[in-house]
Amino acid sequence: MAKITLENIKHSYLPEPGGLNDYALKQIDAEWSDGSAYALLGPSGCGKTTLLNIISGLLKPSEGRILFDDIDVTETPTIDRHIAQVFQFPVVYDTMTVFDNLAFPLRNRAVSEDRVRIRVNEVAKMLDLEDSLNRRASGLTADGKQKISLGRGLVREDVNVIMFDEPLTVIDPHLKWLLRSKLKELHRQLGRTMIYVTHDQTEALTFADHVVVIHEGTVVQVGTPVELFERPAHTFVGHFIGSPGMNILPCKIDNGKSRFAGNLVQTASSKLPDNYTGKLEIGVRPEFVYFDEGGFPVEIIKVDDLGRYQIVVTQHDDNTIKMIVPEDIQIPSESPRIAFTPKHTRIYADDWVVDQE
Amino acid sequence: MNKTTYQKAWLFVIPVVVLVSFNALIPLMTVVNYSVQETFGNNVFFWEGVKWFEQVLNSERFHAAFLRQLAFTGTILLIEIPLGIAVALAMPRQGPWVSVCLVLMALPLLIPWNVVGAMWNIFALPDIGLLGRGINSLGIDYNFTRQPVAAWLTTILMDVWHWTSLVVLLAYAGLCSIPDAYYQAAKIDGASAWAVFWRIQLPKMKRVLTIAILLRFMDSFMIYTEPFVLTGGGPGNTTTFLSIDLVKIALGQFDLGPAAAMSLIYFFVVLLLCWIFYTLMMRDEEQ
């Protein structure tokens, strides 16, 4: 087990990268503490898997250093990094039994056969694979195979970190949450550092203590699920996490006051940049938009009733504003007016939040 | 359920019946017809029963040709399959050299059989051929037209040259279909290169290799043109494989009865060996 430090990591798949756009990872600095569960969250192609492969040593970064417990492992080959990785598609050795599959990493490291038997049985018990130990691995279902991939990681005692690369992609929906809670349980039980890559916000938010949101090769925010929801540091986080995502509206500052389409808007961003020339936007989640007589007028475009709450799509001056309204609140039929909760309304300058509390 | 009977529907089957009859049934039945009768020409036939079959099965000449055939097929399989896998493993998986390698590999497969035979005949001639003269100039006495060992080696070399590519291409296709995650997982599990080959690559290539072995088995077991052009079955009878022997009996000696009986035995042997082989290879899959 180890603390993982990423220093100034950049990576490009091109031999001679030119501009910043040639980089799959633009700049990653991170320190991940021992024993925590992290999720790397981001859309496909944002560099999550690249980062994972750099940590595991399958890929060497173009620039930067990786440290495990303050020891530089950038040049260390995969086998000596003592990491485990579970891939998107289950990897099992077809010709071997489940037992031999689980024993494989140990036997490759010349662990004594007695010890192998003890460890494999322990891991099989953890993963509920005891009954199929003597079966051929190729005959198992996708979730069984994925458990074997995981088991090969758990079986070694010297593992620094267990990494998951979208491990539930090929698993049936009804087994997904079973396997996910299994992972969560294992994390609590073993206290190993786990890194979980996914593009599914539900998976990330339920699995991890800390979610690392990656966007176009950059870490845009690291935080607990609550922080990501309540204080998105970047418009991408606001937009990517939450359903529907955050409303992002054009903003003008005049005399230190923020205005959206001429309407005064109270925000939690205290210090407002004077004479800022870049792009300014107001971000507010649909959960924090409410009907208010004192607000500004909108036109209601559509109401989706989802039972417990309703998603109301409104429009003001060509800007679409989505709001989530609890079921017990009547939607005004005539000249509706809305307002934003100031505490959860923020200004974003060139996509980055201004003055995070 | 009420079924309506409409006999004219049989008409629609006629094209298939005609086609299959002319390309399979009628030729095969003609052979069966010859195999149980004696003829002296003029379309006059005398019933002989299973006499030709007994004669062929008991003939030393057939036994010798059969053994030669088994030896040849076994040898080329033992060389071409491992060699094909080795070449496929050595080929680049990406980059500009992939197409170059693929084209180079495909070239021998595009050359007609008789041309291959002719090429190797000239290539290996001890007096004017590059290979033949080269070997002789090294001080080794080599003449495939009169030394049985040299004739065998040349025939095998020719077949390996012509057909290893097929195994390479099939094995390469099998290798390319293995997802990267397997290699990455193997690295993480600390697997040696040998373990990667034995536990990942070979099992994943199993299906294509089954096809490769079947194809090479059938083709080499029925080989005719190449050795016929290269050695003509000689020197003596040393490279007279089953097909060459069959043609000698049928067209050389015009013994249609024994030739037909031999054809049928030959056919059943190929069928039987393919079936045994396929069943063995697929036995594991069903578990």
The pLDDT value recorded for residue B285 is 64
Q: Which of A87, A149, A197 to mutate to test the interface with B (most CBs of B within 10 A)?
A: A87
Section A230-240 average pLDDT: 89
Residue B284's pLDDT is: 65
Same domain, A214 and A266: no
Q: Across the interface, do B188 and A56 touch by the CB < 8 Å criterion? A: yes
Determine contact, residues A145/A175, Cβ cutoff 8 Å. no
**Taking Cα atoms as reference points, which of A254, A247, A283 lies closest to residue A355?**
A283
Residue B123 confidence (pLDDT): 92
Residues A85 and A66 in one domain: yes
- Residue B9 included in any domain: no
| Residues 6 or more apart in contact with residue B124 via CB below 8 angstroms | B131, B132, B144, B154, B230
With CB atoms and an 8 Å threshold, state whether B184 touches A95. Answer: no
Rounded Cα distance, B32 and B42, in Å: 19
Q: What tokens does A73 get?
A: 């492992």
Neighbours of B46 (CB within 10 A): 9
> Is residue A43 located within the same domain as residue A177?
yes
The residue from A216, A237, A258 where one domain ends is A237
In a shared domain, residues A67 and A207 = yes
What band does A1 get if pLDDT is binned at 50, 70 and 90?
low
When divided into structural domains, chain A yields a total of 2
Q: What range defines the domain where residue A281 resides?
A: 244-353
The CATH number linked to A206 is 3.40.50.300
Any domain includes B5: no
B198 within a domain of the structure (yes/no): yes
- Domain housing B227: 61-286
Q: What's the CATH number where B265 sits?
A: 1.10.3720.10
Q: How confident is the prediction for chain A on average, in pLDDT?
A: 85
The reported pLDDT for the residue numbered B265 is 92
Question: What whole-number percentage of chain B has pLDDT above 90?
Answer: 41
Asked whether the beta carbons of residue A108 and residue B199 sit closer than 8 angstroms, the reply is no
Chain A residues close to B181, C-beta within 8 Å: 87-89, 91
Domain C-terminal end among A215, A237, A259 = A237
Q: Is the pLDDT of residue A15 over 90?
A: no
Helix boundaries (H) for chain A:
48-56, 78-81, 98-108, 113-126, 142-154, 173-190, 201-207, 225-230, 235-240
Provide the chain B residues 130-189 that lie in CB contact (below 8 A) with chain A: 179, 181-182, 184-185, 187-189
Contact criterion met (CB < 8 Å) for A91 and B199: no
| Residue A216 neighbours by CB distance under 10 Å | 17
Mean pLDDT of A34-59: 86
Q: What is the predicted pLDDT for the residue at A280? A: 86
Gap from B74 CA to chain A (nearest CA, Å) = 26
Structure tokens at A194: 């786990």
Q: Which residues of B touch A85 (CB under 8 A)?
A: 184-185, 188
Cβ-Cβ contacts under 8 Å, B190 against chain A: 79, 105, 108-109
ipTM of the complex: 0.74
Question: Is A194 found in the same domain as A296?
Answer: no
**Is residue A177 domain-shared with residue A213, that is, in the same domain?**
yes
Of B179, B191, B287, the CB nearest to A89: B179
Average pLDDT over residues B52-56: 85
| A300 and A285 within one domain | yes
Q: Quick one: closest CA in A to B184, which residue?
A: A58
Chain B closest CA to A91's CA: distance in Å? 6
Average pLDDT over residues A7-12: 85
Q: Are residues A106 and A142 in the same domain?
A: yes
Q: Please tell me whether residues A169 and A24 are part of one structural domain.
A: yes
Same domain, A182 and A292: no
Write the residue in B185, B190, B200 that is nearest to A109 by C-beta.
Answer: B190
The answer, yes or no, to whether residue A240 has pLDDT greater than 80, is yes
CB contact (8 A) between residue B189 and residue A83? no
B76 found inside a domain: yes
Q: How many domains does chain B have?
A: 1
pLDDT, tens digit, 9 for 90 and up, residues A23-36? 888 888 888 888 88
Local structure of residue A19 (DSSP, 8 states): S
Mean pLDDT calculated for residue range A244-265:
82
Dist CA A232 CA B194 (whole Å): 50
> Please, which residues 186-225 of chain B have a Cβ atom closer than 8 Å to chain A?
187-192, 195, 199-200, 203-204
Residue A325 and residue A198 in one domain: no
User: Is there a contact between A85 and B185 if contact means CB atoms under 8 Å apart?
Assistant: yes
Nearest CA in chain A to B197: A93
CB-based contacts of B57, cutoff 8 Å, min separation 6: B265
Asked whether residue B14 is domain-assigned, the answer is no
Q: How far apart are CA B14 and CA A301, in angstroms?
A: 66
Residue B63: other Cβ atoms inside 10 A: 12
Q: B18 falls in which pLDDT band (50, 70, 90)?
A: very high
Whether B199 shows a pLDDT value over 70: the answer reads: yes
Per-residue pLDDT, A258? 80
pLDDT at A294: 82
Q: Is residue B154 part of a domain?
A: yes
Tokens (6 digits) for A20:
């910043």
Which residues of B are less than 8 Å from A108 in CB distance? 189-192, 195
Cβ <8 Å between B181 and A88: yes
Choose the final residue of a domain: A237, A259, A290.
Answer: A237
Span A131-144, average pLDDT: 84
- Is B125 domain-assigned? yes
Mean pLDDT of all residues in A120-134? 85
Residues of A in contact with B187 (CB under 8 A): 58, 78-79
Q: Which residue of A78, A87, A96 is in closest CB contact with B181?
A: A87
Section A194-212 average pLDDT? 86
**Residue of chain A whose alpha carbon sits nearest to that of B192:** A108
Distance CA A323, CA B162 (A): 72
CB B33 within 8 A of CB B27: no
Regarding whether A109 and A230 lie in a shared domain, the answer is yes
Answer whether B203 sits within 8 Å of A105, measured CB to CB: no
Please judge whether A56 and B179 are an interchain contact, meaning their C-beta atoms are less than 8 angstroms apart. no
Q: Do B203 and A108 touch (CB under 8 A)?
A: no
